[in-house]
Chain A
Amino acid sequence: MIEYYTFKHRGYSLEYRDEVFLRLVPSITVALFDGNKLESAPKSQSLLFSEILSSEEGRKNLTDLNDIFEECLDEKSEYFILRVVNNGIECIRKGGVCAKIVSKGQITLLPNGFYCLDSDDRVICATDNFFKHISEEGILADALVADSCSEWMNMMVRRISDQTQLKCGNLSAVTLKLCK
């Protein structure tokens, strides 16, 4: 079973250039696209990103999928893809979009490749603009206090708001908890 919560906010910008993608079958896939560094047509790039993921090619393994993105997307595109596999997760990332895992009272950056999960582990995937305004200790404390993924997200949004009043550009994040 998986519990997740997504957060998308324009952050006082003219348009929302990111994309958050979720797919539950055949395997749970979470993907984030950051188009804020693109100089032209960020919306078309984010739509292309979602289109590839929802097509048959989206079922390919992450290395092959990454090759397709390299081929089709603008080279300044930044993205992160996470897939739940058996009792763990595998992920791949390009650029500043990344995930952090809270495990055994500590927080670490989720590396590319496969990572075995414990039952109480929590994961946050977000763009670098989201992580920029919040410290790792803050993310960790909120994860340990929150009862649900939505509560965890709301606590982190409060922290970002305390710094920026949510006037800091596009914010995109997904919180995840895998329950055995």
Chain B
Amino acid sequence: MYDFSLLPDDSLLALFIALVLFSVAFVSFSIVAVYTLIKTTIYSKKHKDKLRLICDVAYFHERGKRENQEDSVYISPMDKAEENGIIAACSDGMGGLLNGEVVSKYVTDSLSEGFPYKFDDQEENSKIICDISNKIYEQYHLSAGATLVMVHIFDEYMNFYSLGDSNIILIRNNRATLLNYKQNYITLMIKKYAEGGIDTTDAYKDGRSKGLIDFVGNLNCNVLKTSRPLRLLENDIVIVSSDGVTDSVPLNRLANHIHPDQNATGIARAIKYGVKARKNPRQDNYSAVVIKMKRSYV
């Protein structure tokens, strides 16, 4: 215990004044902090629509059980996001063909060199992708190829581009939807069966039907693209991934791995360990860029 009676009166007075001043400062700080918190909450609720929607981005890039890493990802510089938007792409070297890792890396490197892209010029952007494909064709003549999925997000709008069977997934209200359709023979067969008025079971039975009808490395490829942008909402999650992710965690179970309050890093980690937990002995390379849309003052 302290014996304050031993202190001189002046020191006691000084201590008392210091205590009073500290209490006043603490109370004032608390009032200001609470006031600011209340005001901020009211402001953000009132002007929710005026707050900017920004991208929280994370990625993973795993080899799985394969010897080579044939996936390649690209994320545009974040410091240019306000000016040029965000580009996220994933390219997957085609299995069974040569130089998968070289081609997929070439695709993402070429996209990186071409940055920035005009958000509203989807035709020009798909032409750039087509030129990359033609260059690969000239070099390999269909003996090498890759898939490509790419999203371009500017403010609260998103354009997407796709070649092959990789995934652009939108998770909204805890439900995952594949945005790009897969460019394989199943698509052609379904069209034919549906026009004939019959069911499409046989289209899925044929193992060869998963073969791609278009990919990067094909001559004058047909890039799947949005002609007008899709509007994104707060808390939307966009996943740009190779098929190694959805082969192990199917689309209908993807949302189960995610908690709505998680940030992009948490979501990426959850999906990565979700794939790993499957312990698939033939696990393909699996890579994804995860983008979570959130509102911010910044």
Contacts and interface: CB of A to CB of B under 8 A. Distances in A.
Interface in A121-180: 135, 137-138, 140-142, 144-145, 147, 154-155, 157-159, 161, 165-167
Nearest to B233: A106
Contacts of A144: 226-230
B228 A105 contact: yes
Interface of B: 157, 170, 172, 175, 177-181, 186-187, 190-191, 193-194, 197-201, 203-204, 224-231
Contact of A137 (B179, B181, B198, B204): B179
Contacts of B177: 135, 137-138, 141
A133 B181 CA distance: 16
Nearest to B203: A161
Interface residues of A, number: 27
Nearest to B187: A158
Contact of B170 (A9, A137, A142): A137
Nearest to B226: A144
Contacts, number: 75
7 contacts: A105-B231, A137-B175, A144-B227, A144-B230, A154-B194, A165-B203, A167-B201
A104 interface: yes
B37 to A, nearest CB: 33
B84 to A, nearest CB: 19
A104 B232 CA distance: 11
Contacts of A141: 170, 177, 179-180, 226, 230
A90 B225 CA distance: 31
B204 A165 contact: yes
Contacts of B190: 154, 157-158, 161
A103 B203 CA distance: 33
Contact of B230 (A9, A11, A105, A135): A105
Contacts of B179: 137-138, 141
Nearest to B175: A135
Which 6 pairs between the two chains have the least Cβ-Cβ distance? A105-B231, A137-B177, A141-B179, A144-B226, A161-B200, A165-B201
B194 A166 contact: yes
A9 B191 CA distance: 12
Contacts of B197: 9-10
Contacts of A115: none
Interface in A1-39: 7, 9-12
B180 A106 contact: no
B227 A145 contact: yes
A158 B227 contact: no
B289 to A, nearest CB: 18
A13 B201 CA distance: 15
Contacts of B229: 105, 144
B230 A142 contact: no
B16 to A, nearest CB: 65
B229 to A, nearest CB: 5
B68 to A, nearest CB: 30
Contacts of B187: 154, 158
Most buried by A among B172, B177, B204: B177
A64 interface: no
A159 B229 CA distance: 21
A138 B178 contact: yes
B193 A166 contact: yes
A7 B191 CA distance: 11
Contacts of A120: 228
Contacts of A10: 197
A27 to B, nearest CB: 27
B203 A106 contact: no
A65 to B, nearest CB: 30
B187 to A, nearest CB: 6
